[in-house]
Chain A
Amino acid sequence: MSSNPEDGRTVSRRAALTSIAGAGAVALAGCTDANNDAGSGDGGSGEQSGDGGSESGSGELSGDISIAGSSTVFPLMTAIAEDFQAENSGVNIDISSTGSGGGFSNYFCVGETDFNNASRPIKESEETLCSDNDVEYVELVAATDALTVVINNDNDFATELTVDQLADIWAADGASTWSEVNSEWPDEEIERYGAAETSGTFDYFNEAVLGERGHTDDYSATEQDNTIVQGVTGSEYAIGYFGFSYYFQNPDEVTAVAIDDGDGPVEPSLDTASNGEYTPLSRPLFTYPSVESLGEEHVAEFARYFVEQTTNEEIVANDVGYVPLTDETQEEQMSKLEDAISQA
């Protein structure tokens, strides 16, 4: 179960016990309850730091953690945050799904959030923005994703694509019908559903598959995997791409394309992504904690907890649908994190 009912129960039992004890005393005189930090919260001073410390029944940590960024990393982050909050009821974590770029430029690099999730490494322009605002950060790998290209279940000709064919389909100067990609394929328009330009998925796909050819404008762009699946299930001649977790949870709705990067077609799966066979579309996912925030104990603890959980197969693979880190990578990330914490 999640944290809240338990939290509510412990608090209410405690409150009830004090109330019962209190009611006896109040019959004679006013009973008092001194575990109250006077003047907290109501001063209207706009303070945002967690001052509800007295409410936390278990755990010594308290404070707020704000997280924004990639919608691809969002499910992983919520899953880990859920467990962390269940153990530390004094910590309030809020998570927004804003897209990697939106999170960096609107929240993280102006100092509003403590973490930013990204499905691609930070860009140069964002680095500049961060350093302009004196926001230092450390890059942590969170998991590996197998970017999945999907087609309609009735499509039986394009179940295997080479990277060149994929580029022909998605490039700005590419094909407009399937027969232009391969003359044996039907002479039908290609219907494309892909990630929006603010998305890290778009950036990664662009770089890994298209290179300098550039992404076509002739496609339905969205941040919502759901929309892509609906589009692809709706037409036999449609194609789309998104992160692996959606396909992992709904393998029957659409067909994943096996990608041939020169060594024969490879289907996306947790195995092929982790052993490096699924190229070039397996990609690392990141989260960027701010060094300044890591100076606060509850943020540092959460960051440690996060890195610890990145090898947890139950959460990362089964519940969310990404490839967990290897122990080796995890150790690297942890030492990187500890360095940053000691700097802060």
Chain B
Amino acid sequence: MATETGTKFQAVSRLRGTVFEYVSLGASVFGIVLLAALLVYVSIDAFDLANASPQWLLTYFLTLVVPLIGFCLYSADDRQITRRTGLAVGGGLVVSALVFTGVEALVGPIDRLSWPLVYLFVFVVPTTGYTIFAANQETVGGVGFGLLGRLLGGTALGLAVGVLFLVFDPQLWMLAYTFGLLPAALAVGYGQWRPDSGMSSKALPIGIVGLVVAVGLRQVVPMYPTDFIIYIWSVSMPIAAGGAALVAGQRGRTAALSVGLVPLAVAVAGGFAAAGFGLPSKTVLLVLVTAGVPVAVFISRTLTDGEGTIGLVLPILLAAGVLVGALIVDFAGFPAPDPWLDPSYVTSSPSRTPVDAGLYPAIVGSVIIIALVAVLSFVLGVGTAVFLEEYTAGSGWMGALTRLIQVNIANLAAVPSVVYGLLGLGLFANFLGFGFGTAVTAAFTLSLLILPITIISAQEAIRAVPDSLRQGSYGMGATRWQTTKNVVLPEALPGIFTGTILALGRAIGETAPLIMIGAATTVFSAPDSIWSKLSAMPMQIYAWANFPQAEFRYGVVAAGVMTLLIVLLGMNATAIILRNKSEGV
């Protein structure tokens, strides 16, 4: 048709396409830019950067940021990246100074911002992130940041374990470990050493019997070692043994012994020494073990591989930077900011005076709720997803039931969180008698809230497992249970982890359901059991946001938001690590 009437090609206007492209670009950066602006202000408030003198900023820029960027550039070893970084860091200085002074002259002063801060957030932070990313692709950077990550992650893990032991009974854990987990683990180990002994299959019954024995003994045994010894025996030693076992397979007994024993000895010594400095010895022990063993394993592996060993100096470089910076600031007397988010903020209780106010009880409350929610929603969510994907028929009454459940789950995902709060209040707090505002009630309520998200993401992950794998397993004579256990779940695990942890991120920030179930706004001491009434970070932050003193609304609230974000980022990082690990298997 067109060929008959049309005699020449017409130029098609590209205007609409181009406009659409840029509108899409605008849409995609709109939220990010606004959120970034908010976070910049929150961090300025939380760390009191508005009162940081330019000399103070410059000192730490030179002692901390410049060496870090230098390390990254050395590791990336790419002229183009070096040039770009130099341009951004050098040019950004001029640009931000000029633009900011211009804006201030024309429009008026901008509250709590100065050009060094603009330079810091607009140029230095993104450039540093970019060089870290680039360095991580290469061996030296990978080693450096791998070590740094293990240090930070291990510390966070140690603190989290310490927090959980505030609530969960260490004595029961010791008994369960001694009589259940340890024999079971030994059975598995023996089974792998002598495959024909058949010990592996006996591990599960041994473990279950041990756990039952432990629960029974806990009721009758009146005397226990101190918590410190319990932590050495039932937390530190297994972690050290695990680290040693990882190394033993590849690098022989001497390396394995040193990887296991050195951090253990350091941790125990550190735990004793900590008491002398007024630090909590149990926490120090846990942190040194959880950080020390992975670090030792990592160093041992790096030294054996012999590649990028120079990267191991990164933590020392950063620590030295902080130290030198602090010395210079102290010596020259530069006015330093007084951050709201400091060690005392995360270790002390709420207070009526902003300077003394702390978030400790709420942090512990949130961590405990999230730990319970993680267990509950993982078990329930994965269970439902496996049933819906693997065990249901497409037709008959079973098929109809499946479709009904499916539709309901999809709809439940859209139910407002306040409604789940009401459900929790009626069902868990009142009917089942779990108590108003207790950790158990909160955890069950939040688990229900995120359950639809967990189920749907787990279903997607299971659905993504290729059918050929299942058929192959069936073809070899495996039952449906064996196929699910050995083929489908391991394959789907990364996706399930990702979905679950993203859902947990939503749970940790929820306030409305907690208000409904009667969680406290403020508590002054950390909960000591899962049945005690607790507060959570969002509840306390919300209460502070309404305090009359401006220091609460700007400083303390900002510090709380930063803490919440850091915990959230920590959780997401865990998700990524778990996903990568389980993908590697």
Contacts and interface: CB of A to CB of B under 8 A. Distances in A.
- The answer to whether A and B assemble together is yes
B360 A4 contact: yes
A39 interface: yes
Interface string A25-57: 010001111101011011000111011100100
B219 interface: yes
A16 B228 contact: yes
A163 B352 CA distance: 34
B518 A2 contact: no
A5 B549 CA distance: 24
A272 interface: no
A122 interface: no
A12 B223 contact: no
A7 B347 CA distance: 11
A220 interface: no
Contacts of A18: 226, 228
A38 B281 CA distance: 23
A22 B348 contact: no
Contacts of A20: 272, 275
Contacts of A3: 349, 524-525
A271 to B, nearest CB: 19
Please tell me the size bucket of the interface on A. Answer: 35 or more
Interface string B533-547: 111000000010111
Nearest to B355: A1
B523 A94 contact: yes
A34 B222 contact: yes
B224 A249 contact: no
Interface in A162-181: none
- Central interface residue in B282, B547, B548, by most chain A CB within 10 Å: B548
Contacts of B546: 71, 97, 223-226
B524 A33 contact: no
A26 B548 contact: no
B523 A15 contact: no
A38 B172 CA distance: 10
Given A33-B224, A321-B548, A46 B348 contact: no
Contact of A23 (B229, B282, B358, B523): B229
Contact of B352 (A5, A23, A71, A320): A320
B528 A41 contact: yes
Nearest to B215: A42
Nearest to A92: B525
Given A3-B524, A48-B531, A85-B349, A22 B229 contact: yes
A46 B430 CA distance: 12
Contacts of A55: 528
A266 to B, nearest CB: 22
A223 B542 CA distance: 12
A81 interface: yes
Contact of A2 (B227, B524, B543): B524
A19 B524 contact: no
B351 interface: yes
Nearest to B268: A23
B303 interface: no
- Central interface residue in A2, A52, A75, A246, by most chain B CB within 10 Å: A2
A5 B522 contact: no
B128 interface: no
B583 interface: no
B352 A41 contact: no
B223 A8 contact: no
A119 interface: no
Interface string B362-378: 00000000000000000
Contact of B275 (A13, A107, A112): A13
Contacts of A92: 523-525, 528, 532-533
A4 B229 contact: no
B532 A64 contact: yes
Contacts of B172: 42
Given A2-B356, A75-B548, A15 B522 contact: no
Interface stretch (B145-153, B404-412, B435-443, B497-505): B435-443
A304 B112 CA distance: 45
B520 interface: yes
Given A5-B347, A33-B224, A94 B529 contact: no
Interface string A311-331: 000010001110000000000
Given A93-B524, A94-B535, 5 more contacts: A1-B348, A12-B275, A12-B278, A12-B282, A33-B223
14 contacts: A2-B356, A4-B358, A9-B278, A12-B279, A12-B282, A15-B228, A19-B226, A19-B281, A32-B223, A41-B529, A48-B438, A66-B520, A82-B524, A226-B553
Name the 3 nearest CB pairs between A and B, nearest first. A16-B275, A94-B520, A19-B228
